[in-house]
Amino acid sequence: MHEMATLIDDKGLRIDGRKVDELRPLKIEAGLIKNADGSAYIEMGKNKIMAAVYGPKEVHPKHLTLSERALLRCRYHMSAFSTDTRKNPAPSRREHEISKVLRDALLPAVLVEDYPRTAIDVYVEILQSDGGSRCAGLTAASVALADAGIGMRDLVVGCAAGKLNDQVVLDLNDTEDKEGSADLPIGLMPTLKEVTLLQLDGMLNTEEFQRAFDLAVEGCLKVYQVQRAALIKKYFGAEEVRQEVKQ
């Protein structure tokens, strides 16, 4: 375990060598699952996450059908081998909660009214977890929806800020998430400048909250550029998107 005093050293660097306002290395690819209608893969730090979208399709069971819009369903699941200790493969209470959080964060962006009496299923599978998996999963799910050709008002991108040693920092890794004193994940529609997800775990005063929120928005805008590049590569044949975000 890292002592709190070493989470940020006297040079202002974190345990993985990043500055306080620096993202982890980031890679996004679109369209990797042949049998899905849309898919995306993201690496954010040591997170490795696959998202797949199926639909619009017939609703099962039929009694869940909505006459005026599509039924958007999300399933967030951590593989048994995704953490350093084997996880029970059965869905946990936390996974059920994050599934609902992701659905609620994506819903404002998806034009569900264009697909009445259908279902759109989004699956987010955590292959390796390194803190911030809900934000990375949200980012990947949005790219997968776009890859599936689902009508959207905007992409949704996730990023978090938090507090370590009384300093506000961007994009916490697993150790920082566990040992820091606050975590603020957000979801953002960058073009529309609308927030679709805002959670807070821990304590921040008003000034710290504003700084963390602004920093998370800055992070989202950087991640958004990699989202767009991944879709451009898929559909326009650009070079492979493998980017360590430069500050």
Query: Which ranges in 23-132 belong to alpha helices (H)?
Result: 93-106
pLDDT at 42: 98
Q: 71-78 and 119-128: which strand pairing?
A: parallel
pLDDT tens-digit series, residues 16-68: 999 999 999 999 999 999 999 999 999 999 999 999 999 999 999 999 999 99
Extract the tokens encoding 12.
Answer: 């202002």
What is the SS3 assignment for 96? helix
Q: In percent, how much of the chain has pLDDT > 90?
A: 79
Residues 99, 215: Cα–Cα separation, whole Å: 25
- Answer for the pair 102, 132: CB distance below 8 angstroms, yes or no: no
DSSP secondary-structure letter at 88? P
Residue ranges of the chain with per-residue pLDDT less than 70: 1-5, 84, 238-247
pLDDT at 47: 96
pLDDT at 193: 96
Q: Rg (Cα) of the chain, in Å, rounded?
A: 18
pLDDT at 86: 73
Q: Distances from the Cα of 154 to the Cαs of 9, 87, 113, 142, in angstroms?
A: 39, 34, 15, 9
Taking the domains of the chain in order of start, what are their residue ranges?
14-236
What is the SS3 assignment for 98? helix
- Answer for the pair 171, 25: CB distance below 8 angstroms, yes or no: no
Q: Which long-range contacts (CB under 8 A, 24 or more apart) does 77-81 make?
A: 77/123, 77/124, 77/125, 77/126, 78/126, 78/129, 78/133, 79/125, 79/126, 79/127, 81/127, 81/128
Name the CATH topology of 14-236: Ribosomal Protein S5; domain 2 (3.30.230)
